[in-house]
Amino acid sequence: MFRLILLLLPLFCAAHVTEPSLYGSGDNVKVLNNETLELELHSSPNCQLVQFINYFCGDCRRFAGTFKQLAWRLLAWQRVLSIYVVDCAQERNVRICRDFDIRKTPTLRLYPPGYQRTEQDVGHELDTLQPEEIYAQLAAFLAKVKYASLGQPNFEPLSALDDRQSLLNECNNSTKYIVLVYQPQSSALGRDTILGLLTWPAVFVRILSDSALFGHLGLKPNKLLIMDCLGGSLSLQPRNDSSVAYVNSVAEYLQAKGYATLMPAATTPAPDVSSHLVDEEQAAILATVLGAGPKTYRADLEQAIDKLLHIELPKARVFEAAGHLALRQLLNVLRLFSPLNRSGNVLLARLHEFVNGSSDALSGAAFQAQVQLQESMLPKVFKARRYVGCIGSAPVLRGFTCSLWTLFHYLTVQSARSSVLPAGYVLGAIHGFVSHFFGCKDCVQHFLAMADRRKLFSVATRDEEILWLWAAHNEVNQRLAGDSTEDPQFPKLQFPDLNACPKCQLQSASNTTWQLQEVLKFLKDVYDAKNLSNYGLPTANGYD
C-alpha cells in the first residue's frame, strides 16, 4: 500500500481536480456561473428562481434534497419559470456573488423576465426555505408579471374593454379553448387555476373578478366556463370551490375531447446529494489519512488560506469600519503564523500592508485585484491541489469548513507558542471573520451565539484561547453528530477520542471528565508547526 501511495503522490499534484457540486445535469435546475447568470436572467422570457449556494455550507447541503424535489414539482410551471443555481464557493463565481450581494447561503431570489441588475435591485429575496411557503411566494410573484411570449399566460383580470372576439383571438394552433374563471375578491382561485393548467397547452385561462363581465361577453354569470374557438361555451361544474377542483374539472373535459397534458418528464426521480465518486487518488489519500490518526496537513492549511484569499474575502462588496478591522486582524494573524511557503509569507505580508494602508472603505474588487497582482509577481504560492486531512469520502463532504477549523486551531497554537499577540487576539480575528465574511449562514448564527454564551472575549491567556476553540468545536461536533451532512468515514466524535489521547479524558460509568492539561498538551502537539505533514504536496525539492 505504501508503495502505491508513493507512486500516486506526483498525481496528487498534477491531476485536474473537479469542482465539487451539489447539483448536476440531471437535477431539473441549470447550474450557472459568472459568465452565464446575467445573460440568462436578461434574455429569458420567463421568471427565474435562482438559488445561491456555497457547496460547503451545511444548510445548503441539507436543503439540496428539498430544492431538487421542489424543482421537480415546479417543472409544471416551466412555461413561466426557469430554475437556476449559482455556487458562490467556486472561485470563478466570486464577482457575480459580490455583484448580487450574496451575504449568506442558501439565498433564494426571484427575477422577472428580461431582468437587468442595478445597484439597488439585486432581485426579490424569498424569506423562507419551507417548500410550501416558497411555492406560495412564487405563485404571488409569477402572477404579477406581464408575459410577452406565445404560450405564456395572462394573469390580468378581464376588463370591460375586452370583448368576446378579443378572447377568441387567443386561439391558435395549440390553444383550442378559452377558460373563464370567476375570482371573488381577495381570492387566488383564478391565479391558481391558471398555474394548475399550465401543463395543458390546449387552454388559455382568463380571470374575471367582476361577475357582471360575463354578461358583457354575452354569457350567463358562471364560476367556471369553457369556450371553444368557434364561440360555443359550456358551464363546468367543479366538485368544490378550490383551484384543484377547477383544474380537475377542466382537465376531465379536455381528456374527454382527446387532449393530453404536457407534463415534462422529470430528469431526477429522487434527490441524490451523496454520490460516492471517489477516484483512485482520493482512495489512496483517504486510506492514509484514516490510518494516520489526528495530524495536521499543510495541504489543508494551504487550501484554507487559498480559499479565504480567492473566494471568501473578495466576495465582500466593501470592507469598511468593523469589516475593515476584521480583515486587518485576520491578515495580521495569517502573516505572523503563516504555514505557507516563502512566496506565501511574502504575499500575506504585502496584503496586510496593503489593507493597513488602504482607506476605511476598501472594495472587495480592489482586494481581489491586489491578491492577483501580488501573486503575479511571486513564485507560485498555492501548490495544494486537494484537501488531505480534510478529504471527504464523497466530493461535497468535509473540505473547506474542515480546513478552516484546522487553520483556526493551528493559529491558536502558534499564538501560544510565539507570545507575539495578546491573549484573545486570534479568537477575536476568528470572530471577526465569522461575523463579516463567512458565507455559511447556519455556521455564523451558531458560532456567534456560542461566542456570546461561552464568553469568547473573556479569555485571559493564550492557552485558554486554544481550549476555548477546542471546546467550542466539540460543541459543534456534538450538535452535528448523526446529521445528514456528516461524512460516515469521519463521524463527529468528541475530540480527541480515547484512542488518540488516552490521558485526555477520565471515563466513569456515567460521564467523561476532560483532563484539560492533557488536552492542551495534545492540541499543542497535533497543531504544532514543527509537526505539520507535507503529505500530498509537491515536496521533491522541499517545501518552498
Ligand X SMILES: Cc1cc2nc3c(=O)[nH]c(=O)nc-3n(C[C@H](O)[C@H](O)[C@H](O)COP(=O)(O)OP(=O)(O)OC[C@H]3O[C@@H](n4cnc5c(N)ncnc54)[C@H](O)[C@@H]3O)c2cc1C
Residues that bind ligand X (CB under 6 A): 58, 294, 390, 398, 401-402, 404-406, 409, 434, 442-443, 446-447, 470, 473-474, 476-477, 480, 485, 487, 490, 495
**Nearer to ligand X among residue 251 and residue 430 (C-beta):** 430
Q: Closest approach of Cβ 126 to ligand X, in Å? A: 21
Q: Closest approach of Cβ 236 to ligand X, in Å? A: 50
End-to-end Cα separation, the chain, in angstroms: 28
The DSSP code sequence of 32-82 is: E-TTTHHHHHHH-SSEEEEEEE-TT-HHHHHHHHHHHHHHHHGGGGTTTEE
Closest CB to ligand X belongs to which residue?
58
Q: Closest approach of Cβ 476 to ligand X, in Å? A: 5
109 DSSP β-pair partners: 50, 125
**Nearer to ligand X among residue 219 and residue 480 (C-beta):** 480
- Look up residue 45 and give its three cell numbers: 422570457
Q: Closest approach of Cβ 164 to ligand X, in Å? A: 59
Range list of H helices, 144-258 = 164-168, 189-196, 212-216, 243-256
**Nearer to ligand X among residue 170 and residue 442 (C-beta):** 442
Which residue type, as a one-letter code, is found at position 283?
A
SS3 177: strand
Q: Closest approach of Cβ 519 to ligand X, in Å? A: 9
- Look up residue 296 and give its three cell numbers: 495536521
**Nearer to ligand X among residue 351 and residue 402 (C-beta):** 402
Task: Report the candidate in 208, 80, 101 with the shortest Cα–Cα distance to residue 153.
Answer: 80
Longest dimension (CA), the chain: 90
Instruction: Decide: 454 and 473 in contact? Cβ < 8 Å.
Output: no
Q: Closest approach of Cβ 485 to ligand X, in Å? A: 5
HSE-CB for 468 with a 13 A CA cutoff: 29
**Nearer to ligand X among residue 227 and residue 305 (C-beta):** 305
Instruction: Decide: 461 and 415 in contact? Cβ < 8 Å.
Output: no
**Nearer to ligand X among residue 224 and residue 519 (C-beta):** 519
Q: Closest approach of Cβ 226 to ligand X, in Å? A: 51
**Nearer to ligand X among residue 190 and residue 389 (C-beta):** 389
**Nearer to ligand X among residue 103 and residue 191 (C-beta):** 103
Q: Closest approach of Cβ 474 to ligand X, in Å? A: 4
Residues 6+ apart with CB under 8 A from 305: 334, 338, 339, 340, 344, 348, 382, 407
Alpha-carbon span 448 to 439, nearest angstrom: 14
**Nearer to ligand X among residue 147 and residue 410 (C-beta):** 410
**Run of H or E residues at 426:** helix 425-436
Q: What are the φ/ψ torsions at residue 239 (nearest 5 degrees)?
A: -70, -30
The DSSP code sequence of 437-490 is: T--BHHHHHHHHHHHHHTTGGG--SHHHHHHHHHHHHHHHHHHHTT-TTS-TTS
Q: Closest approach of Cβ 256 to ligand X, in Å? A: 52
**Nearer to ligand X among residue 5 and residue 480 (C-beta):** 480
Alpha-carbon span 27 to 20, nearest angstrom: 15
- The verdict on whether omega for the bond into residue 238 sits within 30 degrees of 0, i.e. cis, is no
Q: Closest approach of Cβ 79 to ligand X, in Å? A: 37
- Look up residue 137 and give its three cell numbers: 411566494
Q: Closest approach of Cβ 54 to ligand X, in Å? A: 11
**Nearer to ligand X among residue 373 and residue 481 (C-beta):** 481
Task: Report the candidate in 133, 129, 100, 134 with the shortest Cα–Cα distance to residue 117.
Answer: 100
**Nearer to ligand X among residue 100 and residue 447 (C-beta):** 447
For residues 65, 66, 72 and 76, what is the CA-based torsion angle, rounded to 10 degrees?
-170
**Nearer to ligand X among residue 153 and residue 439 (C-beta):** 439
Q: Closest approach of Cβ 56 to ligand X, in Å? A: 8
Range list of H helices, 144-279 = 164-168, 189-196, 212-216, 243-256
Alpha-carbon span 333 to 421, nearest angstrom: 9
HSE-CB for 61 with a 13 A CA cutoff: 24
**Nearer to ligand X among residue 170 and residue 475 (C-beta):** 475
Pairing of strands 177-182, 107-111: unpaired
